[in-house]
Structure formats: structure tokens, C-alpha cells
Amino acid sequence: MEHQNNKVKKVNCIDHLVTGKSFSLTPDDKYQALRTSPVPNNIEPYYDHPDYISHQTEAAGLFHKIYSFSRRLNNRYKLKVINLHVSGYGTLLDFGSGTGAFVDEAHKEGWTAKGFDPIMPAKKKTKGLYVNNWVKENHYDCITAWHVLEHLSKPQEFFSQAHTSLSSTGILAIALPNHTSFDAVYYQQDWAAYDVPRHLWHFTPKGIVDMANDYGFECIEQHPLRLDAYYISLMSEKIRKSRFPWIRATIIGARSNCKANRTKRYSSIIYVFKKSK
């Protein structure tokens, strides 16, 4: 992928998971981001695949076990980040909660936590962890969206509703892949976090902060998700059908994190927002 004067240029990617079809990532007219086109009329079949492991409730095999272990570490880290900005445990809504792993972790720690997921098949949802409607006014002390906004055709609507649903002192915490990271530039169109057409938006840090600002939020902190660099690199190596993918992914992931210590362009970033108005 090419960058010039902080602008993003068009990228062509393939859906390696389901169809093998080609999609274009074109610059958004307003925000520093790329958008996937064409957008499928029905996106649900693109998620119904045994290798889409964020929708799997059970870990089978070494790779899935490592993924589940890494997810638990990441969830604990996410809660640590949230607890830096919220005094005491309150009401938490995890938007796009998948199998409910983060909701379960938050509930164990003391949060009154629920999840909402418009895509996750109902048969895979754990009873008691989900709500059918998150549209409430000034209700939540924390709303989270972990690697979710890139899946939405209109993330602006999410920001608008989150602003209404959060309490006046509440925080919004979201995580997104960053296509200006070293691993994204290294793998180019084979970067696994493009994940077309499931990912419809591909934000830069400036792009997501600008969008949030337009809907009444200000970014108060950013935190890296360093484990993501290794996972995304591994999936990218598998796309390339590399020899020794685990070794190569470890090297590229480490290089990405080391470079990001200086540039702050981590492979994935947590953004913490509060209401500005």
C-alpha cells in the first residue's frame, strides 16, 4: 500500500476466506480511511465459515487453543485499560460481542456487562450475556467495540447512538486495525486485517478520531494491542502460503511492534473516548 502526504491510495484485495473474489479499497472522501467495494448485498454468508474463529465457541487444535489463550490475555488487558478511566464497576455494553468472551470476562471482574451482536448467529450466543436492543439514553458507564467498527457499513450511526447511550461521565473504548502499521505496509494486499469483504472500513488513527469528533467525542488516550501484530502477521503468512509461517510471523510481528514504539503506528490500537459535548 502506498502513502503520500498522509493520504491513502487504492488497494485491491481478495477474499481469501470464503469466495476468492476481488474487492477494491478506495479512499473515503471525508475521512482518512479506505472503504471496501463492492459491498455485498447480504454479508452474513461471508461470516458463516469454520475458519472464522471469532465466531467459534470452542477451541479445536493447536492454533485455536493459542488464539483462545491470546484472546483471554487481550481481554484482561482491555479491562485494565478501561479501569484506568472508570471509577468502580458499572454498566458495560460490548457492541459486536461475538461469542461473548469479553462480556464474560468483564462480568467476572464485577461489571454489569451485556453484549449486543447484530451478526452473530443466535444459536451460538450464550444465554444471559446478550441484549436484543442497546438503544438506551444515558444508560451505560462504558461501551466497548473490539474490532467491530470496520465491519459496519455506517460506523457514523454507531457513534451517534453511543453518544446517546453513554452516561455523561461514561467512556467509549474501541479497537481497530491500523493499515499504516509496519506489518500492513509489509504484507500490502495480503495483509490479513483487510479481511474483505467482512471489513468495510479501514481506518487510520486520524480517520477514526476525526469521525468520533464529528459525533461529539474526544480521544483521551490510545493504547497498543501488541499481540495483534503477531496474530495478523501469522494469518498474512498463511495467505502467502509461506514456509515456516510461525517463525516469519514472529519476526514481522516483533519488527512491527519495535517500529511502533517510535512511530506509534501499531498494528491494532485501542482508542478511549469521552463525550466532548
Please classify residue 54 by burial: count the beta carbons closer than 10 Å to its beta carbon, then call 0-12 exposed, 13-18 middle and 19+ buried.
Answer: middle
pLDDT value of residue 129: 80
Domain residue extents for the chain:
14-20+59-275
Give the span between the Cα atoms of 252 and 109, in whole angstroms: 34
- pLDDT score recorded for residue 16: 93
Task: Assign domain 14-20+59-275 to a CATH class.
Answer: alpha beta
Q: Whole-angstrom Cα distance, residue 271 to residue 277?
A: 18
Which pLDDT belongs to residue 218?
A: 98
Mean pLDDT, consecutive 10-residue segments, the chain of 277 residues? Answer: 52 93 95 96 83 55 71 93 91 92 93 86 60 89 97 96 96 98 97 97 97 98 97 96 96 98 97 94
Strand order in the sheet with 11-14: 11-14, 22-27, 33-37, 201-203
Contacts of 186 (CB under 8 A, 6+ apart): 252, 255, 256
Predicted pLDDT of residue 1: 40
Which pLDDT value is given to residue 51? 67
Helix (H, G, I), strand (E, B) or coil at 263: helix
